[in-house]
């Protein structure tokens, strides 16, 4: 089997012990410049000499912006900022980077990424989350999703109390100002999905009690089921069962304990300009929440290509998620569904029937992850940035560089 883009260059490579590199985002400006964002975190000691940093959940974080003007052959560090989970995007000729350090924070550049503004807060005293997933340009507006956590306190991995919040940026305005954004209503997972009502398809795979983190095997814990890391999907095909003119769908990572499931909600734009987040329904009238999605157990990235009129899916492929947790190799991160070294590509015309396009890259061993990736189209090529690790990575989860991959003539993979 030919691997599509095993060769890569390293961005934000961290040689210092105790630091990890994560959350890559990517966009291509109108001039062809490639913008890549990445996060850096670690122990207080490891982060001590880094200036311009924020503090979240008791630890330091720092975001970084890299640019390439030679089609991705090299990248230069241009800027540092004090927040994480950042995504770069261009809207009406201005570059923005939106992320969070508890509250939502944003910076902008009016000179194609050469210089950047001071961070501006879009919220005050709140708790936000999200990974660098996709964005949407539609009807002259800009759409992006961030995820808000409720005030309910839970232990372990906090994905049960998250609400994906679609944000709409107003055209002709400065998006560093809160008044120029419209926020959709909040729909929290634990308010709308009752695990006691679910039967026949094995979710949750491991049983947990409310608000607790249960040890499935020594050192391997499981949190309550939930959703996170939201992508935006706008169906254009009026023949699609789920097509609605004023509706945007939210495709999310599904934490179930198993692989192959994604999870979904939708946002309906009202005539008065508000946006309501609700669950989808199948033609039968049944709630349509869990959906088939290759790699839906991990952070994935969906990108719509107007030329091929196809959705492209970049996700993580698992090969042995049915191995009992107590028998996993020590280097496997947490539960069996957390295999992270195989990055794969699919395409689809409807976001439900996915065709396998190929393996993008494979880490040499379990701890050398290729995961949590993002992508952008530049001409005929698909550019990919992955949260990756080598032999110096802390773990398969806490990796030490961002890898940049190029899939040439990617539309030729369609069959």
C-alpha span between 302 and 346 (Å, rounded): 10
C-alpha span between 162 and 126 (Å, rounded): 12
DSSP assignment letter at 178: G
The secondary structure element, H or E, covering residue 291 is strand 290-292
pLDDT of 359 reads 98
pLDDT of 16 reads 82
Domain residues for 150?
Answer: 9-194+211-413
Could you tell me if residue 347 is inside a domain?
A: yes
pLDDT of 15 reads 87
Low-confidence ranges of the chain (pLDDT < 50): none
Could you tell me if residue 189 is inside a domain?
A: yes
Could you tell me if residue 215 is inside a domain?
A: yes
CATH code of the domain containing 87: 2.120.10.10
Could you tell me if residue 77 is inside a domain?
A: yes
Could you tell me if residue 67 is inside a domain?
A: yes
CB 57 within 8 A of CB 75: no
Could you tell me if residue 244 is inside a domain?
A: yes
Check whether the bond before 12 is cis (ω within 30° of 0): no
pLDDT of 151 reads 86
Could you tell me if residue 56 is inside a domain?
A: yes
How do strand 301-305 and strand 290-292 relate by DSSP bridges?
unpaired
Could you tell me if residue 116 is inside a domain?
A: yes
C-alpha span between 54 and 322 (Å, rounded): 39
Cα-flanking dihedrals φ and ψ of residue 44, to 5°?
-55, -40
pLDDT of 249 reads 98
Q: How many domains does the chain have?
A: 1
C-alpha span between 61 and 64 (Å, rounded): 10
In three-state secondary structure terms, 280 is strand
In three-state secondary structure terms, 47 is helix
C-alpha span between 240 and 255 (Å, rounded): 27
For the full predicted model, state whether its pTM sits above 0.85.
Answer: yes
pLDDT of 1 reads 77
C-alpha span between 257 and 327 (Å, rounded): 16
> What residue has token string 């999200």?
130
What dihedral do alpha carbons 312, 315, 319, 325 form, nearest 10°?
Answer: -150
CB-based contacts of 120, cutoff 8 Å, min separation 6:
105, 106, 107, 176, 177
C-alpha span between 50 and 287 (Å, rounded): 48
pLDDT of 213 reads 86
* pLDDT tens digits, one per residue of 42-55: 999 999 999 999 99
CA distances from 144 to 169, 228, 263 (A): 8, 14, 18
């Amino acid at each position: 089997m030919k691997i599509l883009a095993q060769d890569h260059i390293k961005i934000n490579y961290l040689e210092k012990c105790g630091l990890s590199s994560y959350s890559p985002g990517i966009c291509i400006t109108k001039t062809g410049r490639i913008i890549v964002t990445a996060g850096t975190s670690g122990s207080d000691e490891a982060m001590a000499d880094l200036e311009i940093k924020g503090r979240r959940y008791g630890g330091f974080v720092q975001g970084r912006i890299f640019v390439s003007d030679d089609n991705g052959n090299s990248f230069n560090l241009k800027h540092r900022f004090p927040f994480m989970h950042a995504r770069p995007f261009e809207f009406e000729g201005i570059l923005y980077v939106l992320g969070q350090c508890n509250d939502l924070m944003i910076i902008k550049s009016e000179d194609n990424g050469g210089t950047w503004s001071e961070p501006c807060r879009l919220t005050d005293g709140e708790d936000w989350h999200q990974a660098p997933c996709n964005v949407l340009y539609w009807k002259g507006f800009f759409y992006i999703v961030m995820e808000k956590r409720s005030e309910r306190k839970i232990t372990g991995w906090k994905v049960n109390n998250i609400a994906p919040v679609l944000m709409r940026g107003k055209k002709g305005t400065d998006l560093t100002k809160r008044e120029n954004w419209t926020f959709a209503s909040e729909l929290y997972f634990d308010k709308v999905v009752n695990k006691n009502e679910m039967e026949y398809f094995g979710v949750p795979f491991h049983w947990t009690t409310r608000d607790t983190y249960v040890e499935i095997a020594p050192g391997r814990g499981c949190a309550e089921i939930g959703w996170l890391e939201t992508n935006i999907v706008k169906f254009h095909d009026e023949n699609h069962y789920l097509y609605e003119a004023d509706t945007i769908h939210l495709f999310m990572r599904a934490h179930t304990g198993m692989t192959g499931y994604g999870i979904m909600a939708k946002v309906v734009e009202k005539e008065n300009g508000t946006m309501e987040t609700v669950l989808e329904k199948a033609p039968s009238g049944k709630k349509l929440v869990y959906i088939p999605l290759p790699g839906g157990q991990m952070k994935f990235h969906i990108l719509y290509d107007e030329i091929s009129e196809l959705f492209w899916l970049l996700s993580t492929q698992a090969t042995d998620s049915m191995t009992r947790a107590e028998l996993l190799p020590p280097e496997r991160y947490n539960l069996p569904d957390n295999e992270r070294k195989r990055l794969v590509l699919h395409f689809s015309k409807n976001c439900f029937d996915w065709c396998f396009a190929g393996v993008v890259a494979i880490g040499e061993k379990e701890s050398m992850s290729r995961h949590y990736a993002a992508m952008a189209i530049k001409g005929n090529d698909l550019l990919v940035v992955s949260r990756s690790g080598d032999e110096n990575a802390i773990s398969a989860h806490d990796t030490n560089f961002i890898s940049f991959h190029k899939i040439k003539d990617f539309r030729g993979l369609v069959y």
